[in-house]
Amino acid sequence: MKVLVAVKRVIDYNVKIRVKADHSDVDLTNVKMAMNPFCEIAVEEAVRLKEKGVATEIVAVTVGPKAAQEQLRTALALGADRAIHVATDERVESLAVAKLLKQVVDVEQPQLVILGKQAIDTDNNQTGQMLAALTGWGQGTFASKVDVQEGTVNVTREIDGGLQTVALKLPAVVTTDLRLNEPRYAKLPDIMKAKKKPLETKTPEELGVDIASKVTQLQVETPAERKGGIKVGSVDELVDKLKNEAKVIS
């Protein structure tokens, strides 16, 4: 079966961000960018499905600027067969990404679409659920285990109280949680080979999707900085401070 994987280019998770002086947005100039960690897990899961003989072809897709092709090349190096770049310099909200992915799904007809559960820039946690709604498919979000069977996929989900397993009719949408797998690193020969793998570019106009959002970002602020406190020298001092200064225990 064919598997589609959605990957997003985001700020590297180790980078501490700064807000622009005019409060219009976060400042991304000269900031290290990378594949969203949850998308790395999505790619890894697709590759494992292929290694198990379950998946036959993996198509990686991204929506974003030209530079996002780097993340597609990474996906290709990790084992994706083809890539699709939906090119735009606009900021694209989750609903519009889901609509673009829906168009790609209509053409590619995958049996499974794997996305990250959350992009670590917007922290939205929406796109997979929205794509599932638009395709009319079932959704297995926050997956820590994916087990493809004949015509169905069993997805174990990380929920607040523990774990829940659901069975979804294929085709279906899965979003990855951190414990689904441990992504591998791309090897140098594979990085070289990835340069020759097919990467096609489309625009939102070609896909017939209006990406304008009804949600406007008015302002971005830095949250109130928490000031470090003091170091205490002993357990006795700690207990005393908590009782008599902070008054949070009695």
Partner 1 sequence: MSILILADHHDGHLSGATAHVVAAAQQIGGGDIDLLVAGQDVQGVAEQAAKLDGVARVRVADHAAYAHQLAEPLADLLVRLADGYSHVLASSSTTGKNVLPRLAALKDVAAISDILDVVSTDTFKRPIYAGNAIATVQSADPLKVLTVRSTAFDAISESGNASIEMVDVAVDNSLSSFVDEQLEQSERPELGAARVVISGGRGMGNGENFKLLDGIADKLGAAIGASRAAVDAGFVPNDMQVGQTGKIVAPELYIAVGISGAIQHLAGMKDSKVIVAINKDEEAPIFQVADYGLVGDLFQILPELEQKL
Ligand X SMILES: Cc1cc2nc3c(=O)[nH]c(=O)nc-3n(C[C@H](O)[C@H](O)[C@H](O)COP(=O)(O)OP(=O)(O)OC[C@H]3O[C@@H](n4cnc5c(N)ncnc54)[C@H](O)[C@@H]3O)c2cc1C
Ligand Y SMILES: Nc1ncnc2c1ncn2[C@@H]1O[C@H](COP(=O)(O)O)[C@@H](O)[C@H]1O
Residue pair 174/140 in contact (Cβ under 8 Å)? The answer is yes
| 7 near ligand Y (CB under 6 A) | yes
DSSP state of 19: B
Residue 141 DSSP SS3? strand
Measured from the CB of residue 219, what is the shortest distance to partner 1 in angstroms? 4
Q: What is the x/- site pattern for ligand Y, positions 125-164, by CB under 6 A? A: xxxx------------------------------------
> Which of residues 18 and 66 has its CB atom nearest to partner 1 in the complex?
18
| 110 near ligand X (CB under 6 A) | no
Extract the tokens encoding 154: 């069993």
Residue 211 DSSP SS3? coil
Residues in region 49-88 near ligand Y by CB under 6 A: 62-64
Measured from the CB of residue 65, what is the shortest distance to partner 1 in angstroms? 18
Measured from the CB of residue 36, what is the shortest distance to ligand Y in angstroms? 5
Q: Which of 89, 91, 95, 156 is nearest to 121 (CA)?
A: 91
DSSP states of 25-37 as a string?
Answer: SB--TT--EEE-H
In Å, what is the CA distance from 139 to each residue of 11, 130, 131, 177? 27, 9, 9, 13
Exactly one of 1, 33, 178, 191 binds partner 1 (CB under 8 A); that residue is 178
Measured from the CB of residue 98, what is the shortest distance to partner 1 in angstroms? 6
